[in-house]
Chains A and B, each alone.
Chain A
Amino acid sequence: MGVGSVKEVGPVQAEQMVLNIGPQHPSTHGVLRLKVKTDGEIVSEVIPYIGYLHRCFEKHAESITYEQVIPFTDRCDYIASMNNNFGYVVAMEELMDIKVPERVEYIRIIMAELNRIASHLLALGVYGLDVGAFTPFLHMFRDRERILDIFELTCGARLLYNYMWVGGVSHDLPRNFESICIDFLDYFEPNIPEFNELLTKNKIFIERTADVGVMPAEVAISYGVSGPNLRGSGVKWDVRRDEPYSIYNKFDFEIPVGTGEYGTLGDCWDRFWVRMLEMQESCKIIRQALKTIPEGGDVHAMVPKKIRPPKGSIYRRTESPRGDLGYYIISDGSEIPFRMKMRSPALTALSVLDEISAGWMISDVIAILGSLDIVLGEIDR
């Protein structure tokens, strides 16, 4: 119970209290420790301490073969494993100059977008929990379960898929996939307005999130914040559209950006709202993909049994539900990566926390942290 050091704030001597939020705390979304300096309820400084979930992904990747890395990418961002697989295989295929069959590209995009919806559902639901609303959380989990069912149907796993391989996917889609997927979309899309009525447009929720934790666009770019957090600040930037990978340029989808409808541009509500709209866009992409997916054919490109990329390096980023997920892969021509760096979007999102939450209350710090949608598995890797 140490009381913080006495620090001079202006002309008045105020005693600051140091508060440890975490590593075990209900709303740190994992094992994160925030050292918060407070003056009463007002927070003057937030210092995140990370590394409690550090599993040496990068060191470990230097001792296993390229295909063995994929199960470990699953475990980095365990909420959106498909997208992590996707980023890795896109980078690897670019490095090895592999062209995968078109059906594989479609399958990958369907899976990645489904996982994006699942990830956003979790982010939004848990955010509701952070601001005290319990029911939307379980409603969203109910729908997320159905997406996980689809994944289980496809690849047997519900959370950590190891589904996308270099040069293909592990299994073809089952024949009843399309009807099940359409069923889900028909069921899910009408639920989004209900979430909005229950939570997004709720006055208490708006009061808690609008104008809170404003992140201006310049700050966001400078901190490397990406994905829905950046778009919440009004920057129309999406790797899927601006640096198209796979076959995203074939699909027609909007990039929702924050508008500051209820408060200032770039506040927590905008970030929340962007995620809500993105789920609709993902539904649109999935519907298009299901309509045009080519039938039949092998789902594995011609890849040598032992993956030995040519000597060289590549940095490729893809759009994960949390933002720009980059892989920096350096190959020395052997079957083991020479260097594997994962640029995780949640790490940059967490680094901006101190900047945007100083001066707010403890409750707001929790709300801001939740709106950044961090996953500690990805931050610590």
Chain B
Amino acid sequence: MRAYFTTIWESVSTLITGMAITWRHMVNIRKGSVTLQYPEERWPRPERDIGFDQGEYNVIRSRLHVDMDDCIGCLKCERVCPVDCIKIETHRVDKGEDIPDVGHTGITSNGTKKALLVTRFDIDMTECCYCNLCTYPCPEECIYMTGGPNSEKHQIDYEFSQYDRNDMVYRFAKETSEEQVAIATGENGEKK
């Protein structure tokens, strides 16, 4: 009999304790609300005091971007990608020469002379796993995730959604016809 009433008492008291907690949350909603009104309010990028050279530490995971003027076509990013979402095709050209016809600059912003013409640099963002592995080996730091240290150059885009699946394949290289490539490569015309 005693246990019977103890059980009832325990039930009532613990249930009311729970109700008191939810009540407290309900009346303090103005202080406690954590909702972000998404399309109007965006998730703020965390305030990051890195304290060292930001160029080396690309602390963001977002969509990839390639500065094609700096790409030397070394294929390091393609090789390191664990899901094979990067595809690069290159052709041998004269070292360090600008070829304006196909949008090729001979010298990168770091001063490296390019020996390869990149005719194709595709990244399939539907397959990208945002592991950030491709940005580290890049010798020219031309592939990076947007919104990080280079956010002045490229606004952060949360959604980067598309209506067509094929639009998620980002083609960074300038479109070139075979003749253009043939002219540009000249006698070095073998495909690499």
- Which residues in A have some Cβ–Cβ distance to B below 8 Å? 64, 67-72, 74-75, 135, 139, 142, 145, 149, 152-157, 160, 162, 170-172, 174-176, 194, 197-199, 201-204
CB–CB B145/A156 < 8 A: yes
Given contacts A71-B129, A71-B133, A162-B132, contact A202 B18 (CB under 8 A): yes
Q: Is the interface of A mostly helix, strand, loop or mixed?
A: helix
Mark each residue of chain B from 143 to 157: 1 if its CB lies under 8 Å from any CB of chain A, else 0: 001001000000000
A345→B80 CA distance, assembly (Å): 30
A173→B178 CA distance, assembly (Å): 48
When distances are taken between beta carbons in the complex, the residues of chain B under 8 Å from A160 are 129-131
Which single member of B7, B22, B49, B58 contacts A174 (CB below 8 Å)? B49
Which single member of B18, B48, B136 contacts A198 (CB below 8 Å)? B18
Q: Considering only CB atoms, which chain B residue lies closest to A163 in the complex?
A: B132
CB–CB B131/A198 < 8 A: no
Q: Considering only CB atoms, which chain A residue lies closest to B80 in the complex?
A: A68
Given contacts A71-B131, A175-B50, A175-B51, contact A203 B82 (CB under 8 A): no
CB–CB A64/B82 < 8 A: yes
A203→B19 CA distance, assembly (Å): 13
CB–CB B49/A176 < 8 A: yes
Q: Considering only CB atoms, which chain A residue lies closest to B50 in the complex?
A: A174
CB–CB A198/B22 < 8 A: yes
B95 at the interface (CB under 8 A from A): no
Q: List 25 A-B contacts (CB under 8 A).
A: A68-B82, A69-B82, A70-B131, A71-B129, A75-B129, A135-B22, A142-B34, A149-B46, A152-B46, A156-B58, A156-B59, A156-B145, A156-B148, A160-B130, A160-B131, A170-B132, A171-B57, A174-B49, A175-B49, A176-B49, A194-B21, A197-B18, A198-B21, A203-B7, A203-B14
Q: Report the minimum CB–CB distance from A54 to chain B (whole Å).
A: 17
When distances are taken between beta carbons in the complex, the residues of chain B under 8 Å from A202 are 14-15, 17-18
CB–CB B10/A156 < 8 A: no
A157→B133 CA distance, assembly (Å): 13
CB–CB A157/B48 < 8 A: no
Which single member of B14, B34, B132 contacts A145 (CB below 8 Å)? B34
Given contacts A176-B49, A197-B21, contact A162 B131 (CB under 8 A): yes
A55→B7 CA distance, assembly (Å): 49
Q: Report the minimum CB–CB distance from A153 to chain B (whole Å).
A: 4
Mark each residue of chain B from 84 to 116: 1 if its CB lies under 8 Å from any CB of chain A, else 0: 000000000000000000000000000000000
Which single member of B15, B46, B51 contacts A153 (CB below 8 Å)? B46
Q: Considering only CB atoms, which chain A residue lies closest to B33 in the complex?
A: A142
Q: Report the minimum CB–CB distance from A204 to chain B (whole Å).
A: 7
Given contacts A198-B18, A198-B21, contact A155 B59 (CB under 8 A): yes
When distances are taken between beta carbons in the complex, the residues of chain A under 8 Å from B50 are 174-175
Q: Report the minimum CB–CB distance from A108 to chain B (whole Å).
A: 17
CB–CB A172/B52 < 8 A: yes
A-B contact sample (16 more), CB < 8 A, given A160-B129, A198-B18:
A67-B80, A67-B133, A70-B131, A71-B131, A153-B48, A154-B59, A155-B61, A156-B58, A156-B59, A157-B130, A174-B50, A175-B51, A198-B22, A199-B18, A202-B18, A204-B11
A135→B18 CA distance, assembly (Å): 10
CB–CB B49/A156 < 8 A: no
CB–CB A203/B15 < 8 A: yes
A208→B131 CA distance, assembly (Å): 42
Q: Report the minimum CB–CB distance from A290 to chain B (whole Å).
A: 16
CB–CB B47/A176 < 8 A: yes
B60 at the interface (CB under 8 A from A): yes
Instruction: Report B129-186 residues with CB < 8 Å from chain A CB.
Output: 129-133, 136, 145, 148
A170→B58 CA distance, assembly (Å): 10
Q: Which 9 A-B pairs have the closest CB atoms?
A: A71-B131, A68-B82, A153-B46, A203-B11, A175-B51, A162-B131, A156-B60, A175-B49, A176-B49
When distances are taken between beta carbons in the complex, the residues of chain A under 8 Å from B129 are 71, 75, 160
When distances are taken between beta carbons in the complex, the residues of chain B under 8 Å from A74 are 131
A134→B100 CA distance, assembly (Å): 62
Mark each residue of chain B from 22 to 37: 1 if its CB lies under 8 Å from any CB of chain A, else 0: 1001000000001000
When distances are taken between beta carbons in the complex, the residues of chain B under 8 Å from A197 are 14, 17-18, 21
When distances are taken between beta carbons in the complex, the residues of chain B under 8 Å from A152 are 46
When distances are taken between beta carbons in the complex, the residues of chain B under 8 Å from A71 are 82, 129, 131, 133
When distances are taken between beta carbons in the complex, the residues of chain A under 8 Å from B49 are 174-176
A175→B51 CA distance, assembly (Å): 6
When distances are taken between beta carbons in the complex, the residues of chain B under 8 Å from A199 are 18
A204→B13 CA distance, assembly (Å): 11
When distances are taken between beta carbons in the complex, the residues of chain B under 8 Å from A194 are 21
A287→B25 CA distance, assembly (Å): 28
When distances are taken between beta carbons in the complex, the residues of chain A under 8 Å from B59 are 154-156, 171, 174
When distances are taken between beta carbons in the complex, the residues of chain A under 8 Å from B58 are 156
